[in-house]
């Protein structure tokens, strides 16, 4: 109990640092680029255009509102890979700071997840533009979006903490993870219909957390459907599991980081 209260008071003391780290990431990202923030809006739109051309022209999956169908999956998955990859490198990158000053180390992966979260919000705005442009109807269920973002943040934070710990000890974690995310992406129905995974890969459907998150998101954006209690519990529990496991791994290993960076 005491440990937890120490953790919280530490978090409270350093919450401003967390904000500074997040704003640093965002500033550096958009400084000195001509289009600035506009890139975050433009990038997913360009991606979507390519994907729509390729998949509605070549493969002909029978999906209604394909641009938005793709968009919903794409922005969530991009957020996940971006935040976890940045989070994974965050500890090693900040080695010169960690070597000199005492700071709660979990702030580094956490700040990366939050700054990717800001990017996710920009992508979300881009999606709204595309929805207007393609004449997709807006439903009030879309107001549930913060909930799914919260579940996803838990998952991303947990995974980042695990990966960051691994990366400190084994620098080839990054290589392995990039291959793994590629596999993960193909096992997630981002640009193909969920039914394609069918019976053969049913395990992938139930165990892949992203399937649940993306389905949830599509329900509220495209289907005007309030996700069931079971869906909410599944997403929340999956997020919490990763988050708690990540914290445990991180806390057990963090005192040794300094010897390896």
Partner 1 sequence: MSSTIIQVENVSMMFNKSKEHIDNLKEYFIKLVKHQLYFEEFWALKNISFNVDKGEAIGIIGLNGSGKSTLLKIIAQVMKPTIGKVNVYGSIAPLIELGAGFDMNLSARENIFLNGTVLGYSRKQMKSYFENILDFSELWDFVDVPIKNFSSGMIARLGFAIATVSMPDILIVDEILSVGDYKFQEKCNKRMQQIIENGATIILVSHSIEQIRELCKRAIWLEKGCMVMDGLADVVCDKYMNS
Binding residues (CB under 8 A) for partner 1: these are 13-14, 16-17, 19-21, 24, 27-28, 31, 96-103, 169-173, 176, 255, 258-260
Q: Which is nearer to partner 1, 20 or 223 (CB)?
A: 20
Cα angle at 145 between 11 and 186, to 5 degrees?
A: 95
Q: Which is nearer to partner 1, 133 or 258 (CB)?
A: 258
Q: How far apart are CA 186 and CA 137, in angstroms?
A: 29
Q: How far apart are CA 46 and CA 20, in angstroms?
A: 31
- Least distance from partner 1 to the Cβ atom of residue 80, Å: 23
User: Three-state SS for 222?
Assistant: coil
Q: How far apart are CA 52 and CA 65, in angstroms?
A: 10
Cα torsion angle, 151, 153, 156, 162, sign? negative
Q: Which is nearer to partner 1, 175 or 206 (CB)?
A: 175
- Least distance from partner 1 to the Cβ atom of residue 173, Å: 7
* Distance separating the N- and C-terminal Cα atoms of the chain: 31
Q: How far apart are CA 152 and CA 240, in angstroms?
A: 10
Q: Which is nearer to partner 1, 171 or 202 (CB)?
A: 171
- Least distance from partner 1 to the Cβ atom of residue 181, Å: 17
Q: Which is nearer to partner 1, 71 or 106 (CB)?
A: 106
Run of H or E residues at 5: helix 2-13
Q: Which is nearer to partner 1, 23 or 56 (CB)?
A: 23
- Least distance from partner 1 to the Cβ atom of residue 28, Å: 5
- Least distance from partner 1 to the Cβ atom of residue 17, Å: 4
- Least distance from partner 1 to the Cβ atom of residue 105, Å: 11
Q: How far apart are CA 16 and CA 35, in angstroms?
A: 29
Q: How far apart are CA 248 and CA 163, in angstroms?
A: 13
């Amino acid at each position: 109990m005491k440990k937890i209260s120490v953790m919280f008071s530490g978090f409270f003391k350093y919450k401003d640092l967390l904000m500074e780290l997040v704003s640093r990431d965002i500033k550096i990202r958009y400084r000195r680029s001509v289009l600035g923030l506009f890139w975050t809006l433009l990038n997913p739109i360009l991606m979507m255009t390519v994907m729509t051309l390729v998949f509605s022209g070549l493969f002909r999956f029978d999906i209604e509102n394909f641009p938005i169908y793709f968009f919903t999956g794409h922005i969530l998955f991009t957020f996940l890979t971006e935040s976890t990859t940045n989070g994974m490198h965050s500890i090693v990158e900040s080695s010169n700071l960690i070597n000199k000053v005492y700071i709660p180390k979990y702030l580094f992966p956490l700040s990366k997840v939050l700054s990717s979260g800001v990017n996710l919000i920009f992508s979300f705005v881009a999606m709204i533009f595309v929805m207007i442009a393609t004449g997709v109807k807006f439903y009030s269920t879309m107001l549930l979006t913060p909930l799914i973002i919260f579940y996803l943040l838990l998952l991303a934070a947990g995974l980042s903490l695990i990966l960051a710990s691994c990366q400190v000890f084994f620098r080839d974690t990054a290589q392995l993870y990039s291959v793994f995310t590629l596999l993960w992406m193909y096992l997630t129905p981002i640009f193909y219909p969920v039914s394609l995974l069918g019976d053969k890969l049913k395990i992938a459907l139930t165990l892949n957390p992203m399937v649940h998150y993306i389905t949830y998101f599509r329900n509220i954006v495209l289907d005007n459907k309030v996700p069931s209690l079971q869906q909410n519990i599944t997403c929340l529990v999956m997020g919490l599991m990763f988050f708690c496991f990540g914290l445990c791994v991180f806390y057990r290993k963090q005192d040794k980081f300094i010897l390896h960076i």
